A = this chain, B = another copy of it.
Amino acid sequence: MTTAVNHYGRHGDLVDAAIAKLKLHFGERLTTATAVRDQHGHDVSWHPSYPPDAVVFPDTADEVSRIVATCHAFDVPVIPFGTGTSCEGHVAALMGGICIDLSRLDRILTIQPDDMTATVEAGVTRKRLNAELRDTGLFFPVDPGADASLGGMASTRASGTNAMRYGTMKDNVVSLGVVLPNGDRIRTASHARKSAAGYDLTRLWVGSEGTLGIVTDVTVKLHPIPDHVVAISASFSTLEQAVGFVLVATKLTDSLARIELLDELQVEAVNSYSKLSLPVEPTLFIELHGSRAAVEAALPFIETEAHAAGASRFDTAVSAEARGRLWQARHDIWWANLALRPGASALPTDSCVPVSRLVEAILAAKADVRDLGLLAPICGHVGDGNFHLCVLFDPADPDERQRVETLTKRLAARAIALQGTSTGEHGIGHGKMAALVAEHGPAIRVMAAIKRAVDPHNIMNPGKIFNLAEAPPFN
């Protein structure tokens, strides 16, 4: 195993040499300005900023290759940067190095309506792609909270509210253009919608968090815009009732596109911030997608089952405006939560368990929050068993910080004990490495072996996902 270069340590001269060499080509597009470095050293999370030594803004995949080849030659860490909206310190330059900001790789390369695919450069954001698709009758469904870049979404295996019907990035990436840690370029797959041609490199790169190379273009599946959409808000006296309903509804219709759970505190926050007047009870925001006939036929069944499960209220929203109000409120949850405790920091947790264990997981989480004296509304993509606590805390209060850390550890341990994962969609970064070890045990050694094989000098986003020193190679 090769030890990672650390510019804070003995290899600072190599970093300087790499920067000097890149500067010759990139000129103004390479900067060592403190403000830019600082901005590129952190994401939206509570993790502190670890600024890179320089930030470079390539225009093309060839330029990305040139940068990586240079860093490979000088043994200097490389950190890819999309929109900086990850949640576990994914972009932190823990060992210094060169940050590659991919925002200028922003071309839509091809849209193939017949194949229902689009190929875009890594810096294109999901909203931009959907804007470009406007006249095709197709859309790209994966919708994490942020307007993230497609390259970043692929690299973190992002998902969102539509995953139930349309899947996550794992299901929607057809092929990736990748720059390997030595600067070579590969394509992970053809543009065929299915393939049995060797190892599934596409899926290996999806979720690899920049540790195996840099994604420079992404070919994604598109989906027909549904003919008919109905949104529903349904309130239940208890969490058991709400989740019990979900288990029935899932088998009742294939029109369920979104099922979002909000606990009482989350409803309170949303009511206050978005001026709604939902009953302060566990609530589901649901959306049905399909043909008009399918959705209209499913609706009465769903309403009957909701009432049978104990729903105290069941409201539908059909017009785009009424649906928009509901989903805007859902999308604004982050701000609604921050308004619950002005001045506080927010930490999003990310458990995902088999749906049959969801009630148990959420009730235990709520008990933890109560025991630890914390404030944390809960929302979740409940059709997938994925839920987030939004922990509101004062980062300047060491005792509260300690309690937040206790909470996140308990949540991860419990998700794993319930045959689930500590992260459904946010990834590991450097924030959840211990949880990954607890979850994957000896399989970490396989991940580390792959990392070493593809990136033997450990220059690609080093210090993320796993600690190589704890995972000996196979022999």
Query: Which residues of A are in contact with B by a Cβ distance under 8 Å?
Result: 112, 114-117, 137-138, 156-159, 163, 167-168, 170-171, 180-182, 184-201, 203-204, 206-208, 224, 226, 247, 250-251, 253-255, 290-294, 296-298, 350, 352-356, 384-386, 415-416, 419-428, 432, 435-436, 439-444, 446-447, 449-450, 452-456, 465-466, 473-475
Contact = CB atoms under 8 A, between A and B. Distances in A.
Contact of A180 (B195, B446, B450, B452): B446
A194 B297 contact: no
A424 B466 CA distance: 34
Contacts of A255: 294
Residue among A193, A292, A443 facing the most chain B CB atoms (10 A cut-off): A193
Given A251-B137, A422-B197, A352 B192 contact: yes
A428 B296 CA distance: 46
Contact of A456 (B185, B224, B475): B475
10 contacts: A137-B251, A157-B200, A168-B194, A187-B441, A194-B425, A196-B350, A203-B204, A224-B254, A254-B254, A255-B294
Nearest to A185: B442
Given A254-B291, A294-B290, A356-B115, A159 B194 contact: yes
B194 A447 contact: no
The 10 nearest A-B residue pairs measured at CB? A293-B297, A203-B203, A294-B294, A453-B453, A114-B356, A449-B453, A186-B443, A191-B419, A192-B352, A192-B420
A455 B450 CA distance: 11
Given A251-B224, A442-B186, A352 B193 contact: yes
- Total copies of this chain within the assembly: 2
B384 A193 contact: yes
Contacts of A254: 224, 226, 254, 290-291, 294
Nearest to A356: B114
Contacts of A226: 254
Contacts of A293: 293-294, 296-298
B421 A195 contact: yes
Given A163-B194, A194-B168, A354-B193, A447 B199 contact: yes
Contacts of A137: 251
A445 to B, nearest CB: 8
Contact of A452 (B159, B296, B453): B453
Contacts of A420: 190-192
Nearest to A383: B193
Given A114-B356, A203-B170, A424 B192 contact: yes
Contact of A207 (B190, B198, B447, B456): B198
A197 B386 contact: no
Contacts of A117: 354
A447 to B, nearest CB: 5
A473 B454 CA distance: 8
B201 A207 contact: no
A386 B194 contact: yes
A186 B441 contact: yes
A199 B188 contact: no
Given A204-B204, A254-B291, A198 B428 contact: yes
A455 to B, nearest CB: 8
A293 B200 CA distance: 38
Residue among A159, A253, A254, A384 facing the most chain B CB atoms (10 A cut-off): A254
A377 B425 CA distance: 45
Contact of A190 (B185, B292, B421, B465): B421
Given A194-B385, A195-B424, A198-B466, 13 more contacts: A115-B356, A157-B200, A167-B171, A180-B474, A187-B441, A192-B384, A196-B207, A197-B427, A199-B204, A200-B203, A200-B206, A290-B294, A450-B454
